[in-house]
A = this chain, B = another copy of it.
Amino acid sequence: MPTYAAPVKDTRFVLNHIVGLDRLSNVPGFQNATPDLVDAVLEAGGTFAAEVLQPLNQVGDREGAQRQPDGSVRMPTGFKDAYEKYKEGGWPTLTGPEEYGGQELPLVVGTAVSEYLMSANLGFSLTVMLTEGCIAALELEGSDEQKAMYLPKLVSGEWSGTMNLTEAHAGTDLGLIRTKAEPNGDGSYSITGQKIFITGGEHDLSENIIHLVLAKIPGDPDNVKGISLFVVPKYILDENGKPGTRNSVTCGSIEHKMGINASPTCVLNYDGAKGWLVGERTKGLRAMFIMMNAARLGVGVQGLAMSEVAYQNAVAYAKDRRQGRALVRNKEIADAADPIIVHPDVRRMLMDMRAFTEGSRALALWTALQVDLSRKSEDATEKQAASDLNALLTPVVKGYLTDLGLQITVTAQQVYGGHGYVKEWGMEQFVRDARIAQIYEGTNGIQAMDLVGRKLPMDGGRAVRLFFDRVTRDIAEAKGHERLAPLADALEKALGHLQASTLWFVQNAMTNPDNAGAGAVSYMNLMGVTALGWMWLLMAKGAQEDLANGAADKSFAEAKLITAKYFAERMLPEASTYRRRIEAGSATLMALPVEAF
C-alpha cells in the first residue's frame, strides 16, 4: 500500500524563499496570510490529505464511480464521508471570496494545499477543483443575482460545479459545438445538446450540481464568435433558493478510462434543460478562458502532485528493498544484499525525480503568486508584470509539469521493478492517473501553441522580455557567490538557447506559421527547463542564506544545494537539443504528403 506525507517543510521553504510570503503582507489579500496561519493551514491540510483522502485512493481506483440504472452516479466507498469531512474542515472555503463565506486566502496558499489533496487522491480532488473554476467564472461574469444564488453554496461545498465545453466532434475546436440555447421568453433558455467528458457531471457528494455550459443561441454566428455561457443547475432553485425541480440534464453514461476512475467523467444530455445566460451574449468563450486559465495552473499542479507522491513511495522502496551489492563495496555489510538506494542508477532515478519535483513545486507556487499579484497588487507596475508573467508561464506550468508528472511516475514505478507493474503496490495507478493531465484543459500541444502563438507576441513580446530580464538579473547576482556561480553559468547557457530560439521564431514564424507549430512543444520544454533552472538558482540562494543565518536544519539546506547542482549538471544541458529542434523548422516535418502516412 502506498503511503503519503505532505511535504510541508518543502512548501514552507518555497513560500519563504521563492514567494517571499513575509514581504507581501502589504498586498491586499495577504494580510490574513500570516506565517503562523499559513503554517497551521499547511499542517492541517497535509493531515487531512494523508489521513482522510489517501487511504481512499486505491479503493477509488478499484471501484470507480458507478453509474446506476436510474442515471445517478454512486461514488466509491468512503468518498461521501470524506466529502463531509472536507466540508466540515472548511477546506472548500479556503480561497473563496469573503463576501460569499470564503476565507479569501491567497491562491498561493490554496495551491499549496491543493497539491496535497491531489497527491493523496486525485480522483476525489477533481470534483473539488472544478467547483473552484465554476466559482471563479460566476464571480467574474455572473450577475449579482446569480452570485447571490449560487456562490455561497458553492463556496461552502454544499453544491459542486462543472464546466461543459466538449462535444463528441468538438474538443480543441469549440467553434464546432452544436448545443443550442433557445430563449424561453422569461429570461431563461432551453438548453439542448450533448456534452462529453464532463468531470463531476453527476455524483452523490453534493446536494446540487451547478453546470456552466457553452451553447449557441439560434441566430448567433455558428462559430467561436457565437458561443454564450449558461448556468444550468441540476436542481432548479425554488423561491427560497433551495434545490427544487429536477432539471432535464441527465448523465447518459460515464467513460471507462485509463485512470482517475473515482472521478465520474460524464456524458451529459441536455434535453431542453432550463438555463440562464452568464455574462454577455456571444462572449461565452471569454469567461470560459478565464476559468480555464486558472484551471490550467491547477492541472499543472496535478503533475507536481503525482510526482511527489510517486517519488515518496519510490524512496521508501529504494531504502527497503535489498538486491545486489553496491559497486563501491562495503557500504553496508549487515545483510546478504544492500538496499537498492546504494546503486547509482537507482540514485539517478531518485535524484531526477527529486530535482524535477521540487523545482516544479517552486514554479507552481511562484506562478500562483503571480496570479495573486495580478489580481490584488496596488502597485500598477507590479500588477502588470505579474499579469504578464502569469500569462506567459501558465501554459508552461500546465504542459511541462504534467509531462514531468508522467515521466516521474513512470520512473518511480521503474524503481519497483516487477512490483511496480502489479496493481496492489499502487505505483501503476499514479502513472495512469498522471497521464490525463497531459490531455485535458487543452492538450500539451495546445498549451505549446498558446505559448508560442499568443503569449510570445503578446504586447510586442513584453512578457517574454520581462522573463528574460528577471532571470538575467538573478544570474548576474549569483555569479559572485562561490556555490551559486556554477549554477548561474549553466542557467545562462540554457537562457541563451531560449533567447536564440525566441529570436528564431520572430524571424521565421511570421513568414511561415508552420515554423511556430513545428517548434512549439520544444520551445515549451526549453522554457520549462529554463524556468526550473531559475527556480533552482533561487532555491540554492535561499539555502545559502539559511546556512549563513545558522539554520537549524543544515542538512535540508545542503540537500537543496546538491540537488540544484544536480539539476544544473544533468537537466539544463537538454536546452541545446530543444533549440536544435526548433531551428530545424517545419520544412522536413511537413514534407511528407498525407498519403505517405
List B contacts of A440 (CB < 8 A).
418
Majority SS at the chain A contact face: helix
Interface residues of A in 547-593 (CB under 8 A from B): 555-556, 558-559, 562-563, 565-566, 569-570, 573-574, 576-577, 580-581, 584, 586, 588-593
Whether A435 lies near B421 (C-beta < 8 A) is yes
Whether A584 lies near B569 (C-beta < 8 A) is yes
Q: Mark A235-278, 1 if CB is under 8 A from B, else 0.
A: 00000000000000000000111110000000000000000000
Residue of B nearest to A343 (CB): B517
Question: What's the Cα separation between A334 and B339 when bound, in Å?
Answer: 63
Whether A324 lies near B173 (C-beta < 8 A) is yes
Whether A345 lies near B570 (C-beta < 8 A) is no
Interface status of A521 (Cβ within 8 A of chain B)? yes
Whether A444 lies near B414 (C-beta < 8 A) is yes
Q: Of B169, B349, B439, which one neighbours A414 at CB under 8 angstroms? A: B439
Q: A343-B517, A345-B448, A573-B576 are in contact. Are A258 and B327 (CB under 8 A)?
A: no
Q: Which of A33-41, A133-141, A210-218, A508-516 makes up part of the contact surface?
A: A508-516
Whether A520 lies near B406 (C-beta < 8 A) is no
Interface residues of A in 191-211 (CB under 8 A from B): 196-197
26 A-B residue pairs with CB within 8 Å: A166-B418, A171-B323, A173-B337, A176-B336, A257-B421, A258-B428, A258-B432, A259-B421, A328-B513, A344-B516, A344-B518, A345-B449, A345-B517, A348-B521, A413-B435, A414-B443, A414-B444, A432-B432, A559-B592, A559-B596, A562-B591, A569-B584, A569-B588, A570-B589, A574-B577, A576-B577
Interface residues of A in 394-437 (CB under 8 A from B): 406, 410, 413-414, 417-418, 420-424, 428, 431-432, 435-436
Q: Report how many copies the assembly holds.
A: 2
Whether A573 lies near B569 (C-beta < 8 A) is no
Q: Of B344, B418, B512, which one neighbours A439 at CB under 8 angstroms? A: B418
Question: What's the Cα separation between A337 and B328 when bound, in Å?
Answer: 61
Q: A327-B517, A345-B520, A414-B445 are in contact. Are A258 and B315 (CB under 8 A)?
A: no
Whether B443 lies near A435 (C-beta < 8 A) is no
Interface status of A346 (Cβ within 8 A of chain B)? yes
Question: What's the Cα separation between A413 and B255 when bound, in Å?
Answer: 16
Question: What's the Cα separation between A284 and B83 when bound, in Å?
Answer: 56
Q: Mark A290-329, 1 if CB is under 8 A from B, else 0.
A: 0000000000000000000000000100110011100110
Whether A414 lies near B431 (C-beta < 8 A) is no
Q: A327-B513, A559-B596 are in contact. Are A256 and B424 (CB under 8 A)?
A: yes
Interface status of A458 (Cβ within 8 A of chain B)? no
Interface status of A24 (Cβ within 8 A of chain B)? no
Whether B171 lies near A417 (C-beta < 8 A) is yes
| Least distance between A381 CB and chain B CB atoms (Å) | 35
Whether A172 lies near B573 (C-beta < 8 A) is no
| Least distance between A295 CB and chain B CB atoms (Å) | 15
| Least distance between A416 CB and chain B CB atoms (Å) | 9
Question: What's the Cα separation between A562 and B198 when bound, in Å?
Answer: 41
Q: Of B169, B349, B445, B562, which one neighbours A346 at CB under 8 angstroms? A: B445
Interface status of A350 (Cβ within 8 A of chain B)? yes
Interface status of A380 (Cβ within 8 A of chain B)? no
List B contacts of A319 (CB < 8 A).
594, 597
Q: Mark A478-511, 1 if CB is under 8 A from B, else 0.
A: 0000000000000000000000000000000000
| Least distance between A42 CB and chain B CB atoms (Å) | 21
| Least distance between A35 CB and chain B CB atoms (Å) | 25
List B contacts of A12 (CB < 8 A).
none
Interface status of A70 (Cβ within 8 A of chain B)? no
List B contacts of A589 (CB < 8 A).
344, 347-348, 351, 566, 570
Interface status of A341 (Cβ within 8 A of chain B)? yes
Q: Of B351, B422, B449, B594, which one neighbours A341 at CB under 8 angstroms? A: B594
Whether A417 lies near B431 (C-beta < 8 A) is no
Residue of B nearest to A222 (CB): B336
Q: Of B171, B257, B512, B577, which one neighbours A577 at CB under 8 angstroms? A: B577
Whether B171 lies near A590 (C-beta < 8 A) is no
Question: What's the Cα separation between A337 and B336 when bound, in Å?
Answer: 64
Residue of B nearest to A429 (CB): B258
Interface status of A595 (Cβ within 8 A of chain B)? yes
Q: A337-B173, A347-B590, A406-B410 are in contact. Are A573 and B580 (CB under 8 A)?
A: yes
Interface status of A160 (Cβ within 8 A of chain B)? no
Q: Of B171, B431, B565, which one neighbours A435 at CB under 8 angstroms? A: B431
Interface status of A438 (Cβ within 8 A of chain B)? yes
Question: What's the Cα separation between A593 and B558 when bound, in Å?
Answer: 10
List B contacts of A322 (CB < 8 A).
169, 173
Whether A172 lies near B323 (C-beta < 8 A) is yes
Question: What's the Cα separation between A351 and B586 when bound, in Å?
Answer: 11
Contacts A319-B597, A410-B435 known; list 5 others, CB within 8 Å: A169-B322, A257-B423, A341-B594, A418-B439, A566-B589
Q: A417-B443, A570-B581, A591-B562 are in contact. Are A597 and B350 (CB under 8 A)?
A: yes
